[in-house]
Each structure stands twice: as C-alpha cells, then as structure tokens.
Amino acid sequence: MKHTQWIVALLLTLSASAGWSQDPAAAGQVLQGEVLEVQDVPNYTYVRLKTADGEVWVALATAQLKVGQAITIEHAEQIDNFQSQALKKTFDQIYFGNLPVAPLTEAETKARIDSAHAAAARVKQVQNSTITKASGADARTVAEIVTSGPDYKDTPVTVRAVVVKYSAGIMGKNWLHLRDGTGSEADASNDLVVTTQEPAELGELLLVKGMVRKDQDFGAGYAYKVMIEGATLHR
C-alpha cells in the first residue's frame, strides 16, 4: 500500500475506542528511534519504538519494518487509552503517524485530495427527531459549533451526530462531515467537518470528542472557518 506525506492510507479495520488528549502540542510530533518490536495486523502495523525520551508505541499503515531499524515517524498524534481488538490490548498511550516520503507538488496534492473527496459517498438527510444532543458541560450541537466557532476556539467539545460524508487517508487523517439535524443548508451551519485517526462508516451515529479549531488552511484550496481536529469516536 503506497502512502505519501499528504495522503496516508490509514484504513483502520480494527474496532476500537480511545481517550483523547486536550493538549494541542500532543499533535503533529516527529518521533525518531530504534524499532524494538513489530506487530502486524491487516492493513496496520504496530511498532514499539525506543526514542531518546523512552519507549513509545506507534501505529502506522502497513509497513515493512525490522527490529533494530532506525526510523522517523512524522505527523505523530497522541491518543490515550486506545483499545485494539486485533491485538486484544489497550495502549495507555500510542501515536498515530506515517513514515516520511518525498513531498508532492501542490498540483499533485490537490488532484489526490479531489479524487478522494469525489469518491466519498454522502448521506443527504438527517432527521431532527433521530438525534439526541450529547450530555455534559462540553456538549454542543453541530449548529452551535459552526455558528459560534470563535467562542469555542481551542476548547474541547462533544457532539452526537451522523456521518454524512467520509474520506479516509487524506493528509494523514480521516475526514468526516457530521450532521445532527440542527443548522441550515443555506449558510452551511448544518454540516461540521471533523478530522480523526479512527475509522468511521457512512451513516453511523457517533459521539465525537475533539478540539474546535478556527480558520484552518491545509493548502490546495482546502480551508475551513470552523472544524474539529484530532477527534475520538465513541459508539
């Protein structure tokens, strides 16, 4: 399976649940070290890595790695309490990332992103009566987050919604569009963009936890006024 710095095929076929970190600095790290252990599962490779700061576990798209090999992991994002059913193990802390590769040109990047988004199916309607707002102090609806993004900037939120569009492995992340029946089609306040390292299914009802980000520009024409990044998905 080929992957690039911008497009990583993190096809998580594992059924998993995870905690989430509220520390923005925990995302996008570069890890370097020696491979101490490799465990492969379908479409996925777990690596125990010896770094200058100690041993850590890292999850990658399937990769051919050997014990003793020195590697660098880019775009490493921390997830706490990650439960792997394939390995029957819960990781107190694990990083999701990818191996470095030659960068794409802006035109190549945009072409691949366009292709992935175009291939993603969409659920067109969500009935208001089917979605119950999440509970808790940080619970918000899709419309509340989209229309009041500046008020929630860099704060954690929880939203219960349906996945109406799903694009996997773009820029090292999985991308979801969520709707819960709130908001308006006219001003796009009914649709919330979310990035995550976890898999999802089209039409799935999820409880999503993550950090609200404002004015995010990923290049190649992909910019968002309000979105959730680094989310964890709970069934």
Between 182 and 102, the more confident residue is 182
Between 210 and 83, the more confident residue is 210
Count of CB atoms within 10 A of residue 129's CB?
Answer: 7
pLDDT at 42: 80
Mean pLDDT confidence for 80-108: 82
Mean pLDDT confidence for 66-76: 93
Phi, psi (degrees; rounded to nearest 5) at 147: -85, -20
Reply yes or no on whether the pLDDT at 39 is more than 90: yes
Mean pLDDT confidence for 88-116: 76
pLDDT at 41: 87
Please give the domain boundaries of the chain with CATH numbers for all domains.
Answer: 24-98 (2.40.50.140), 106-234 (2.40.50.140)
Using one digit for the tens of pLDDT, what is the confidence trace for 172-227?
Answer: 789 999 999 999 989 999 999 999 999 998 889 999 999 999 998 877 667 889 99
CA dihedral 206, 195, 13, 204 (to 10 degrees): 20
pLDDT at 21: 37
Mean pLDDT confidence for 6-18: 33
Do 26 and 77 contact (CB within 8 A), yes or no?
Answer: yes
CA distance 19 to 48: 20
CA distance 193 to 5: 21
Reply yes or no on whether the pLDDT at 87 is more than 70: yes
Using one digit for the tens of pLDDT, what is the confidence trace for 118-167?
Answer: 655 666 556 544 689 999 999 999 999 999 877 888 999 999 999 999 88
For 174-232, give the DSSP string. Answer: EEEEEE-S-S-TTTTTT-EEEEESS---TT-EEEEEEEEEEEEE-STT-EEEEEEEEEE
Identify the burial level of 124 via C-beta atoms within 10 angstroms of its C-beta, where 0-12 means exposed, 13-18 middle and 19 or more buried: exposed
Count of CB atoms within 10 A of residue 42's CB?
Answer: 10
Between 69 and 98, the more confident residue is 69
Between 203 and 104, the more confident residue is 203
